[in-house]
Structure 1
Amino acid sequence: MPTLTLADELVLLAHDDAGTNQLGRPRLDYGLVGAVLLDLALAGRVAVADDRLSVTDPTPTGHPVLDDALATLAADGKRRRPKDWMSRLAKGLPDRVLAGLVDRGVLRRESDRVLLVFPRTRYPSPTGAEPAAETAARRRMLDAVAADGPVDARTAALIGLAGAVGLDRTLFREVPKERLTARVAEIAAGDWASAATKKAIEETQAAVLVAITAAATAAIVTTTVS
């Protein structure tokens, strides 16, 4: 099976064993946009300069979801900030990522109705157990947090993204809070990617957090007004 993208790993980590999204929307949507941009940055396709995201290499990566986003970025005539791409790239993204995992047999699609009325779609593992790819991602992240020293670029990016969407609270619940805070900061400051790539990743992770916070604030205001 082809190597999973960061978006694939994030969507697996965000769903429980019953195939239910534990992050909710639009938290997962923005997180997946961030994951796509991080993968493009790690692949040397995009960079951030003067707080603006630009395409540095339009060559396709060979992955449909990444290449669709890359084409959209390349076709845009304006250099935008990473946060400006959150809503633009989020539309339909979770469905495309999940569909790709279903096509590869990592997950299966299960549709039913709650109380015989409300439609529901879940994405459990075909075996009923946690997918091996999810287990591997969890182990990679936990090993990085538990150890000392350097961390590979993909794992460092995924740990930062997990923090941005709030998954770190469950993924690392057995790690003492002070140890987790210190180690995540150490990983973020590590020499695991070029300065340009790290800049793009840091800006993207910040953009995800800003988008999620803005959406949560808007929901609170709407509920209060109503």
Structure 2
Amino acid sequence: MGVIVARGRRWCGTRSVAGMDGLLLTDELVLLAYDDAGTNRLGRPHLDYGLAGAVLLELALARRVEVVDKRLVVTDPAPTGVPLLDEALATVGAGRPRKPKDWIGKLAKGLPDRVLDGLVGSGVLRRDSDRVLLVFPRTRYPSPTGAEPAVETAARRRMVDALVGDGPVDARTAALLTLTRAVGLDRKLFRELPKERVKARMTEIAAGDWASAAVKKAIEEMQAAVIVATTATAAISVTTTS
């Protein structure tokens, strides 16, 4: 597979860094979070934290970071060739070892805009700006055709096939399923599937032999970190509004 260049981002078509469509987990998560009208149905900061988790998962899948003694450590500082990932890798490597949850908030800032810029630049999405009631500015990100992008359809199919099947699941699909569950997007994506089946299969996939022990541990820790971050934000929101 070749290389896709989008607004200064270099997507390498290798399975160690990006998926078969040249998309990162961050790209897939954004596409799944936005509806066909181009509106973020996941909300923020849930999307922000989910994207931070996706960046760390990409680094784990690329064997650049691992979780050791509950701390995230850089095991290979070599650049991946993807600026978004390499900046995060440098940030994690420059600081003292921290728990994954401590990195989520630090890496989340500005991520949605960067990922959306990349998807717009590559033609997967377009940017529509207008005003609601002629006063309130609004920006939406539908696809250029108005239909679901083919790469998003492919990501959905991968996840549904994993959930309804019984066979092994590749590490990237398992990681994407983990992300959607961590931010609560799974309840929106898989409404048509039996709830108990989804829950049981998610548990089965988490326990499956689809990646190295180090990668599986990292994915589990990132999921937990995203859940902690989003839960804490929700609790603060409830407290300040009550």
Instruction: Please give the TM-score of this superposition, normalised by the length of structure 1.
Output: 0.97
Trace 1:58-207 onto structure 2 (pairs within 5 A): 58-76=77-95, 78-207=96-225
Match of 2:57 in 1: 38
Corresponding residue SS for 2:178: helix
Note the alpha carbon deviations across 1:174-212, whole angstroms, 9 max, x for none.
111111111110000001111011111100010000000
Return the alpha-carbon distance in structure 1 between the equivalents of residues 83 and 155 of structure 2. 21
The aligned amino acid for 2:198 is: L
Note the alpha carbon deviations across 1:141-195, whole angstroms, 9 max, x for none.
0000010021000001111111111111121111111111111100000011110
Task: List 4+ stretches of structure 1 deviating above 3 A.
Answer: none
Corresponding residue SS for 2:23: coil
Return the alpha-carbon distance in structure 1 between the equivalents of residues 103 and 132 of structure 2. 34
Greater share of helix: 1
Return the alpha-carbon distance in structure 2 between the equivalents of residues 181 and 160 of structure 1. 12
Note the alpha carbon deviations across 1:84-107, whole angstroms, 9 max, x for none.
011101110110011111111111
Tell me how far 1:58 sits from its aligned partner. Answer: 1.1
Matched, 1:8 2:27: yes
Return the alpha-carbon distance in structure 2 between the equivalents of residues 176 and 105 of structure 1. 35
| Higher RCO, 1 vs 2 (CA within 8 Å, ≥6 residues apart) | 1
Return the alpha-carbon distance in structure 1 between the equivalents of residues 77 and 127 of structure 2. 33
Return the alpha-carbon distance in structure 1 between the equivalents of residues 146 and 87 of structure 2. 31
Return the alpha-carbon distance in structure 2 between the equivalents of residues 160 and 91 of structure 1. 21
Corresponding residue SS for 1:105: coil
Return the alpha-carbon distance in structure 1 between the equivalents of residues 140 and 175 of structure 2. 27
Match of 2:230 in 1: 212
Return the alpha-carbon distance in structure 2 between the equivalents of residues 153 and 18 of structure 1. 30
Corresponding residue SS for 1:88: helix
- How much identity, in percent, do the aligned residues show? 74
The aligned amino acid for 1:25 is: R
Using the TM superposition, name which of 18-27 and 173-182 deviates more. 173-182
Note the alpha carbon deviations across 1:100-119, whole angstroms, 9 max, x for none.
11111111111111111111
Structure 2 spans left out of the alignment, 5+ residues: 5-10, 12-21
The aligned amino acid for 1:104 is: S
